[in-house]
Structure 1
Amino acid sequence: MRLPTLLAGLFACLITDVAATALTYKLGANEKACFYTATKKEGEKVAFYFAVQSGGSFDVDYIVEGPNGKIIMDGQKERQGDFVFSANVVGDYSFCFDNEMSTFAEKYVDFEIAVENEARAQLPSKQGTTPEQTSVLEEAIFKVSGQLSTISRNQKVLPNP
């Protein structure tokens, strides 16, 4: 009985528009490298994940800046990070890794940048259900979808047994 609603919710998760880039980058000693992604409208979710895979103390400095030059987040000597923020300004966001603290150690950094437009599909209405009930189910499905994305990113970092 609830299966059609659940399937419609899962379908809504699958049609979420996501633009993502997952890379491994060799960050040289004394190097600062920046990567960019563009948002097309306000309110889009931007996900940023990184993990230092090898080199030095397995740490790196990072900074994320908005199109207006405003610092969204930054950190020093971090081994990994997993963040999501809302793009309040349309334009290019920069994601920079800084290894200028290291005089000889190069580092390999895995990272992923994803821009998600969470436009949700209209779920079919069903007699006997209220919009509140549908909304609760829909929110639960989107939460599970986000958690699955986090698990997927973590699996890329964990070593194979």
Structure 2
Amino acid sequence: MTRTLPSLVAFFLLLVAPCLVSAYSIELPAATKECFFEDLHKNDKMTVTYQAGGGGHMDIDFWLSDPDGHALHKDVKQSTGTASITAEKDGRHEYCFSNLMSSVSDKVVSFNVHGVIFVSEDVAPVEREIRTLANDLKSVRDEQEYILVRERRHRNTAESTNSRVKWWSIVQSIVLFLVVAWQVYYLKAFFEVKRVI
């Protein structure tokens, strides 16, 4: 019975681990900020990873603060980042994304929140291995989401470039036909013989 208890706990953690990860994507209009909250208990761990995926120079401000409002982590004008904390007290921790520095362009931000509920160190080796595996799976998932955001950004750039090339080609064709028509008219007028009566 005592040997199956760690296995049951490990199985439960494997089922619950995906629920402890949240992935979001938000749009930050120009000159605004968006804040989110997480209720943590003492010794709980939380990691926030983010990436700006579109708009302007694709940079944002990010900060994470404790329940008393003290800044635990701050990034200024970054396109990607990670913040990890261990809660020192119970309460609502706040993390915010800011586009206040931009007055024109909207930004798209994708972010993940990882939460690890504190468990004492005297856990079974199987549990420790399952936690390591769960953390590795989170890293793989983060990397996949990062790749998706990069692909979306590059696809948007390629489509924008394609559209500009198309319209530039159309404008060049119109100018070419206008120049040809003007040259034909001018040369025709140049070779006309004017009779004086």
Please say whether Structure 1 and Structure 2 have the same fold, judged by a TM-score greater than 0.5.
yes
2:134 is paired with a residue of what secondary structure? helix
1: CA distance, partners of 2:14 / 2:75: 33
1: CA distance, partners of 2:133 / 2:114: 17
Q: Does 1:155 align with 2:151?
A: no
In the TM superposition, residue 15 of structure 1 has moved relative to its aligned partner by 5.0
Cα offsets for 1:98-139 (capped at 9, x unmatched): 11111101000011223321448x97xxxxxxxxxx53x543
Pair 1:45–1:141, CA change in 2 (3 A): same
Q: Which has the larger radius of gyration?
A: 2
Cα offsets for 1:26-76 (capped at 9, x unmatched): 10111111111111x210111211111101111111110000111110011
Using the size of structure 2 for normalisation, the TM-score is 0.63
**Number of matched residues?**
145
Using the aligned pairs only, state the percent identity.
Answer: 22
Higher helix content, 1 or 2: 2
AA at the equivalent of 1:35: F
Q: Does 1:32 align with 2:21?
A: no
Structure 2, gaps ≥5 residues long: 156-197
Matched ranges for 1:12-91 at <5 A:
13-16=13-16, 19-39=20-40, 41-91=41-91
Structure 1, gaps ≥5 residues long: 124-133
Higher strand content, 1 or 2: 1
Structure with more relative contact order (C-alpha pairs < 8 Å, separation 6 or more): 1
